[in-house]
């Protein structure tokens, strides 16, 4: 059994901590800051940090990698087509990597960055996805390097994972994303319900993650580009018809960038 907890970092990042409690070993995903991981290890004597998993090269995801590697000699695994500090294993589409005895499939999901990867495993009773900054709860990342033609199919691929898959993304953006989702689909009852629930959670300073793929399919406009009402809203924003799901996605992302 792998236990997963969030280590908050910066203003809204989460470093995901995977724990094998039986063997007192752990792994972390996207440690942009070494401090929260160091503090956890200091409070849990006898634990070993075995693996550092990286999704992409942005500093708020890799800033703590080299220090943690020096302190713990942990193995660093990350995308093959990006510069990742201290990387020991370069991962690309179709590769598999074992972390704490769990095998993860590597998915290439370009868009936010060109070499961005996600980690998916269906070995646990509940499938797991570490999506970095590609898929957020009720949203998606900005396209800093990629194109809509890359990112929309990447998101559609994640949306096709089993509905029960738990989605561990890297930021606490859920409430602001749901405000946008309400603008796109004001009559979607699932969006309205989730917005109310997340509003209460954030008022209590509670984490809104993980999400699930099933919930994202119901409430995330960037995964709902085939829905008639979503397309209509995207057409209104663009001032012209969008003739494909990629075009709908591009219009939504442009709208969200200025929302």
pLDDT digits (tens, 9 = 90+) for 198-256: 999 999 999 999 999 999 999 999 999 999 999 999 999 999 999 999 999 999 999 99
Per the structure, the complete domain to which residue 54 belongs is given by 2-257
Q: Give yes or no: 133 in active site.
A: yes
**Secondary structure element (H or E) that encloses residue 3, with its range:** strand 2-9
Q: Helix (H, G, I), strand (E, B), or coil: what is residue 134?
A: coil
116 catalytically annotated: no
CA 154 vs. chain centroid, Å, equals 12
Cβ atoms of residues 19 and 26 within 8 Å? yes
| Count of beta carbons in the 10 Å neighbourhood of residue 235 | 16
Q: Would you call 44 a catalytic residue per the annotation?
A: no
- Using CA of residue 224, residue 79, residue 163, residue 210, what is the dihedral sign? negative
Please, which pLDDT band fits residue 1 given cuts at 50, 70 and 90?
confident
Has 61 been annotated as catalytic?
yes
Q: Decide if 235 is catalytic.
A: no
DSSP code of 183?
A: H
Question: Which one is catalytic: 20, 30, 61, 81?
Answer: 61
Which class for 46: exposed (0-12), middle (13-18), buried (19 or more C-beta within 10 A)?
exposed
- Euclidean distance between CA atoms 66 and 101, whole angstroms: 24
Tell me how far CA of residue 166 lies from CA of 15, 119, 238, in angstroms. 16, 12, 33
Mean pLDDT of the chain: 97
Backbone region of residue 151 per phi and psi (left: phi > 0; alpha: psi in -120 to 50; beta: other values)? alpha
Single out the residue of 109, 181, 141, 148 nearest to residue 247, CA to CA. 148
Percent of all residues in the chain with a pLDDT value above 70, rounded to a whole number: 100
Q: Of the residues 56, 57, 81, 116, which is catalytic?
A: 56
Residues 6+ apart with CB under 8 A from 176: 139
At 8-63, the pLDDT tens digits run 999 999 999 999 999 999 999 999 999 999 999 999 999 999 999 999 999 999 99
Residue 81 designated active-site: no
Q: pLDDT grade, residue 101 (50/70/90)?
A: very high
3-state secondary structure of 162: coil
Q: What domain count does the chain have?
A: 1
Q: How confident is the model at residue 91 (pLDDT cuts 50, 70, 90)?
A: very high
Q: 53: cis peptide before it, omega within 30°?
A: no
The CATH number assigned to the domain holding 133 equals 3.60.15.10
Tell me the C-alpha to C-alpha distance, in Å, between residue 210 and each of 22, 167, 216. Answer: 23, 5, 11
Query: Taking the CA atoms of the chain, what radius of gyration do you get in angstroms?
Result: 18
Q: Which residue has the tokens 């890799």?
A: 62
**Given 20, 33, 58, 116, which residue is catalytic?**
58
Let me know if 112 is a catalytic residue.
yes
């Amino acid at each position: 059994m792998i236990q997963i907890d969030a280590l908050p970092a910066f203003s809204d990042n989460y470093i995901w901590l995977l724990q094998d409690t039986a063997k007192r070993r752990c792994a972390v995903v996207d440690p942009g800051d070494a401090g929260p991981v160091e503090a956890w290890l200091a409070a849990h004597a006898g634990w070993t940090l075995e693996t550092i998993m990286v999704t992409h090269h942005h500093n708020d995801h890799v800033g703590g990698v080299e220090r943690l590697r020096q302190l713990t000699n942990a193995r660093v695994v990350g995308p093959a087509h990006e510069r990742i500090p201290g990387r020991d294993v370069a991962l690309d589409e179709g590769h598999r990597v074992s972390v704490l005895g769990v095998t993860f499939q590597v998915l290439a999901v370009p868009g936010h960055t060109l070499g961005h990867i996600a980690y998916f495993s269906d070995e646990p009773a509940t499938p797991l996805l570490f999506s970095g900054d590609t898929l957020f709860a009720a949203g998606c990342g900005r396209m800093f390097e990629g194109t809509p033609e890359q990112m929309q199919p990447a998101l559609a691929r994640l949306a096709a994972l089993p509905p029960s898959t738990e989605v561990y993304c890297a930021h606490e953006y859920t409430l602001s994303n749901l405000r946008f989702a309400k603008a796109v689909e004001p009559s979607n009852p699932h969006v309205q319900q989730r917005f109310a629930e997340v509003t209460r959670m954030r008022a209590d300073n509670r984490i809104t993650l993980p999400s699930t793929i099933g919930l994202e399919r119901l409430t995330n406009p960037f995964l709902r580009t085939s829905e008639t009402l979503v397309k209509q809203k995207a057409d209104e924003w663009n001032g012209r018809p969008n003739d494909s799901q990629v075009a709908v996605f591009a219009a939504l992302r442009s709208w969200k960038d200025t929302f």
